[in-house]
Structure 1
Amino acid sequence: MIFFRLSFTYSVVVAALFCSSCSSVAQRNTAASNTSLTNEAAPVTGISKVWVADQGDGTYKNPVLYADYSDPDVCRAEDDYYMTSSSFNAVPGLQILYSKDLVNWKIIGYALDRLTPYAHFSKPQHGNGVWAPSIRYHNEEFYIYWGDPDFGIYMVKTKNPAGPWEKPVLVKEGKGLIDSCPFWDEDGKAYLIHGWAGSRAGIKSILTINRLSPDGTKVLDEGVMVFDGHDAHPTVEGPKFYKHNGYYYIFAPAGGVATGWQLVLRSKNVYGPYEERIVMDQGSSPVNGPHQGAWVDNKNGEDWFLHFQDIGAYGRVMHLQPMKWVNNWPVIGEDKEGDGKGQPVLTYKKPNMGKIFPVTTPQESDEFDDHTLGLQWQWHANPKATWAFITGSKGQLRLFTDQVPADFRNYWDVPNLLLQKFPADTFTVTTKLKFTPNAKLQNERTGLIVMGEDYAYVSLVSKKDGIYLTYNTVEEAFKGTPEKEEVLGKLNGNEVYFRVSVGKNAKCQFSYSEDGSQFRNADTAFTAVAGRWIGAKVGIFATRLDKINDSGYADYDWFRITPLTTEITESSQK
């Protein structure tokens, strides 16, 4: 089984790649547009070519992460910042990002190499799993708490946030327990606050506090309801617990994912009563539903708040807002009216950390030259050891075809999708592969996919008389809708380049090439949509319909993300 890279530093090993020509493709009778580049996509360095928040002049632009880091939480340890976010059913889960200045981030590891219970998450559990985690640094250890709406509240900890992390501990068992956050008070007492998922518990829009054992491993009582948001703050959830200047503070989003606001509660007593105030909403900005995130400070006395914005197919992207304290209330963003309620900024001066740090961005492209897979990749379920192997000496990732589930309806049901987040509003993905199906089988398949509740992919599929190119789409995959398949042609050889160009509003144009230079479009474009509580993702797969003791395989040479070079027009939409 492949391993994922775990390190504080990220480097991309760029090797010289020699392009062997792909065999010619039988031309279709239907007309299709052609696009070309002067040569195949060049190796990509470690800094993103499609989104960099650091503007290089002492300012940054939002979002600082144009990717689906849903429900982010951040903690500071001395001069270092660590972030995690909801990972739901993706594996490995709880990716850990690292920053020195809150603007430049990179992935350094993950806290969960598998989801528990293992068998339950061995098939895709869309929208389930890891909800709204919190990360804290306490007594020189890092803790992450999260709620799984079907099993309860879990905790993992470590001394090294890059990993490995200890095995998960079930802190509070139950249905509908979500969005948990610990707090250790100066008197040695510890507490755990959480919200409720109405879909499992039958109640919602309330916040509950439990006493927590000092070691953080178990709750000590039945809990106390400290806030009811039904009247003014429906769907209050995602609480984060702090103490400042003698007050206990609960930062909590309310009003719904796409349209909500940032609520703050304060009290001199852990259990209340709590005063309430909306400290940030959309205002006149274009940033809808700015809420749910983390307050952090720095050694120079500045305060900052990180939160998400839901933008449909791109998921919940992360913004950074200035924050200040006025009369013991936080004011987040730009307070244009002077009423204590801010709105998001689009650009701002970077945090003053005492020095300038290099530009970094989360990993995107992968040359597959190392002996481990890049940390940007996640499976759709707990993986099998036979799905994929890195062959770093050859600079390739080998995907073996795996048999689809017995109840297979479409790729919504398939666990061995190797995916990563959309990295920007527009971008291009190109990958090169060689397909070696088992000659005894038909319908082994490998390809490049954009996955969500609707999905599309371009693929190679084996038949009795050779390998064919197909373009497949499906709407409302979660309903078991059958795919629509368009045969693009027959491949005389077994090597091909696949590409998807993603334009504004998540419009996607798939194409293929036999030589890495001339790309031929699929006849119709596709509009990506979000998955279950997540943004659309892009990646690769290899499947088969039948059982066999020696499956075929696909060798992926590289996977590169580069800027969009061609406009995707409305007329080409599905």
Structure 2
Amino acid sequence: MIKSFFLAGLCSISLAVSGQNYTSKVWQPDLGNGLYKNPVIYADYSDPDVCRVGDDYYLVASSFANAPALPILHSKDLVNWEILGYALDKVPPTERFDKMQHGNGIWAPSIRYHNNEFYIYVGDPDAGLYMTKAKNPAGPWEPLTMVKEGKGLIDCCPLWDEDGRAYMVHAFAGSRAGMKSVLAVFEMNAEGTKAISEDRLVFDGHPNHSTTEGSKFYKRNGYYYIMCPAGGVKPGWQLAMRSKSVYGPYEERIVMAQGKSEINGPHQGGWVDTPDGKQDWFIHFQDLYAYGRVVLLEPMKWVNDWPVIGIDKEGKGCGTPVSTYKKPDVSKTYPAVNPIESDEFDELTLGKQWQWQANPNPLWAFYAGNKGYMRLFSWQLLGEAKNLWDAPNLLLQKFPAPNFSATTKLTFNPMYKGEKTGLVVMGMDYATIGIENGENGLILTQNSCLKADKGAAETNHASIDLKQSTVFLKVDIKQSRNKNKEGILQPTGTCTFSYSLDGKKFLPFGESFKAREGMWIGAKVGLYCIRPKAINDSGYTDVDWFRIDK
């Protein structure tokens, strides 16, 4: 048992969990025979970190500028995960993140349990390192507290030592700090709320370990350990460093690499053990391009006080990632659950799978769960916005599997000409199938926008007149897997669109589209309702349901 990291395992607390018990129709990592397959979460939860409290595991991930922010997931066995909630309703400061901020905001959090409280530390590359805490991981969480101000500070993780002193390791974003590939440690006050010392350099990745980042801090058997990725997101590897002193010098060793597996760049994550302390596991991500940064689970063991992650067939101290493996040996068998995907809009609050592109305005959507629908009001693009890349009021969720369909039933009630609503596959390129209120009535359209992040205009591929306001819209996404010119496996998601007027017979519509990732995130699928200019009233769309299926 690692006192500084797994102190939570010694405690017994009452926790609220999501209770969703949702089982996905499109991705199931639990094979039902004592084995699991990777990814354990086929969705974009990048930069994951994990901790255990008793028999419960909690995972946090980056959310960048999307809101709600700082997702928290829960599991009993490290294989079956569900969304517990979010630590932040909005990304602060709101005056900045109420507007589009692609790629900025919440980067690479870490989660720990200390003194009967949960702590999340996170970096904003343009502001500094923050902390929030809660007695229950379901919330409420305290407002963010600035621990250390500074541009370019990222990827932070705390460590409380046996003597009660607290430390923080972190990395630097080259785009802001003007340097990268180095790690630093500073001391915090015992409460973990404020830096009380300057940074001290503990590791320089030049020249052998470029882009050293994603640092996690642990202590075991008298050694301080820093685990982190290096070499870049897709072609990289996992490093471990150890020292008898918190400030080093640190020895280094590569403890996991792609090897002959198809799991490219096994990137940053966190270490956790089972409640009995007999098994060790490592959660990390793999970048799958348009599908985002999906979450994998690796077996881990300690050999001569060094971690070995994955399967080390040659006994050299460096493992390779697994595709399938025996599930963690926890206290009992738990039912299969997955992060929620479909939404019948029968509740009075937004489903936990949804995020807005920016901090939400309460006027964008009303959740009339007692009536069985969600009402989206149209909203105008502001300022120099040229397309949906600049629309903060897109309601989106992550791709949940390599192959899936997303279907929605909606009824459009426009008030002015030019109002639009529909289904969108969103990224730096995007495509839509939707309804527009034209000069002579409603029109069904299918559009795409290539290089949306560069301000490109949409291209229309198909249009027909509609005689009814209720339609069923669908996108089917199929994955193909090929290696790019660097020899890295690059999955591609091809999207085809269709519609129905009765919910039974779907007709193909428009052109196929290749999904593209967003800024540091995977592509997303969801809903939009917009209008061409600011006026004193709004049309709306009533969304009956949104379903993810095979």
> Shorter-chain TM-score: which interval?
over 0.9
- In structure 1, what is the Cα distance between the partners aligned to 2:203 and 2:20? 46
- In structure 1, what is the Cα distance between the partners aligned to 2:90 and 2:381? 20
8 A Cα contact 1:305 1:322, kept in partner: yes
- In structure 1, what is the Cα distance between the partners aligned to 2:25 and 2:362? 33
Structure 1 residues 1-20: aligned runs within 5 Å: 8-11=17-20
C-alpha displacement at 1:291, in angstroms? Answer: 2.3
Aligned equivalent of 1:365: 342
* Corresponding residue to 1:216 among 183, 192, 211: 192
8 A Cα contact 1:54 1:60, kept in partner: yes
Aligned equivalent of 2:290: 313
The residue matched to 1:503 in structure 2 has which SS?
strand
- Quick check: 1:446 aligned with 2:421? yes
- In structure 1, what is the Cα distance between the partners aligned to 2:370 and 2:20? 17
Aligned equivalent of 2:149: 173
Aligned equivalent of 1:345: 322
Q: Which has the higher contact order (CA 8 A, sep 6+)?
A: 1
C-alpha displacement at 1:394, in angstroms? Answer: 1.2
- In structure 2, what is the Cα distance between the partners aligned to 1:293 and 1:416? 31
Aligned equivalent of 2:5: none
Aligned equivalent of 1:543: 530
AA aligned to 1:543 is I
Structure 1 residues 249-268: aligned runs within 5 Å: 249-268=225-244
Aligned equivalent of 1:407: 384
- In structure 1, what is the Cα distance between the partners aligned to 2:249 and 2:385? 52
8 A Cα contact 2:181 2:213, kept in partner: yes
- In structure 1, what is the Cα distance between the partners aligned to 2:16 and 2:390? 33
Q: Deviations over 1:289-325 (max 9, x none)?
A: 0121010001231100011000100011111011000
Structure 1 residues 373-392: aligned runs within 5 Å: 373-392=350-369
AA aligned to 1:310 is D
Aligned equivalent of 1:291: 267
Structure 1 residues 229-240: aligned runs within 5 Å: 229-240=205-216
- In structure 1, what is the Cα distance between the partners aligned to 2:532 and 2:148? 41
The residue matched to 2:290 in structure 1 has which SS?
helix
Aligned equivalent of 1:485: 460
- In structure 2, what is the Cα distance between the partners aligned to 1:51 and 1:502? 14
* Corresponding residue to 2:512 among 522, 525, 531: 525
8 A Cα contact 2:433 2:473, kept in partner: yes
- Quick check: 1:151 aligned with 2:127? yes
8 A Cα contact 1:7 1:109, kept in partner: no
AA aligned to 1:391 is A
C-alpha displacement at 1:276, in angstroms? Answer: 0.2
Please report the RMSD computed on the Cα atoms of aligned residues, expressed in angstroms: 1.1
The residue matched to 1:318 in structure 2 has which SS?
strand
- In structure 1, what is the Cα distance between the partners aligned to 2:38 and 2:294? 9
8 A Cα contact 1:80 1:98, kept in partner: yes
8 A Cα contact 1:58 1:350, kept in partner: yes
The residue matched to 2:343 in structure 1 has which SS?
coil
Q: Deviations over 1:149-203 (max 9, x none)?
A: 1111111100010111110111111110100111100011100111000111101
- Quick check: 1:395 aligned with 2:372? yes
Aligned equivalent of 2:477: 502
C-alpha displacement at 1:425, in angstroms? Answer: 0.3
The residue matched to 1:120 in structure 2 has which SS?
helix
C-alpha displacement at 1:472, in angstroms? Answer: 1.1
- In structure 2, what is the Cα distance between the partners aligned to 1:403 and 1:529? 25
AA aligned to 1:151 is A
Q: CA 1:387 to 1:7, structure 2 compared with 1: closer, same or farther past 3 Å? A: farther
Aligned equivalent of 1:39: none
Q: Deviations over 1:47-91 (max 9, x none)?
A: 100001001011100010011010000001111100010101110
8 A Cα contact 1:410 1:482, kept in partner: yes
C-alpha displacement at 1:7, in angstroms? Answer: 5.9
C-alpha displacement at 1:336, in angstroms? Answer: 1.4
C-alpha displacement at 1:373, in angstroms? Answer: 1.1
C-alpha displacement at 1:549, in angstroms? Answer: 2.0
- In structure 2, what is the Cα distance between the partners aligned to 1:318 and 1:277? 23
C-alpha displacement at 1:119, in angstroms? Answer: 1.0
Structure 1 residues 324-335: aligned runs within 5 Å: 324-335=301-312
- Quick check: 1:429 aligned with 2:406? yes
8 A Cα contact 1:53 1:62, kept in partner: yes
Residue identity (%): 59
AA aligned to 2:155 is D
* Corresponding residue to 1:468 among 408, 423, 443: 443
8 A Cα contact 2:209 2:231, kept in partner: yes
- Quick check: 1:102 aligned with 2:102? no
Aligned equivalent of 2:245: 269
| 243-252 or 522-531, which deviates more | 522-531
The residue matched to 1:510 in structure 2 has which SS?
strand
Aligned equivalent of 1:43: none
- In structure 2, what is the Cα distance between the partners aligned to 1:354 and 1:112? 32
Q: Deviations over 1:14-69 (max 9, x none)?
A: xxxxxxxxxxxxxxxxxxxxxxxxxxxxxxxx210000100101110001001101
* Corresponding residue to 2:549 among 562, 565, 570: 562
- In structure 2, what is the Cα distance between the partners aligned to 1:464 and 1:409? 22
Listed as ranges, the gaps of 5+ residues in structure 1 are: 1-5, 13-45, 564-574
Listed as ranges, the gaps of 5+ residues in structure 2 are: 1-14, 480-491
Aligned equivalent of 1:568: none
TM-score (norm 2): 0.94
Aligned equivalent of 1:552: 539
8 A Cα contact 2:16 2:137, kept in partner: no
AA aligned to 2:176 is R
Aligned equivalent of 1:24: none
- In structure 2, what is the Cα distance between the partners aligned to 1:531 and 1:392? 31
| 246-255 or 522-531, which deviates more | 522-531
8 A Cα contact 1:468 1:487, kept in partner: no
8 A Cα contact 2:20 2:82, kept in partner: no
The residue matched to 1:236 in structure 2 has which SS?
coil
C-alpha displacement at 1:512, in angstroms? Answer: 1.0
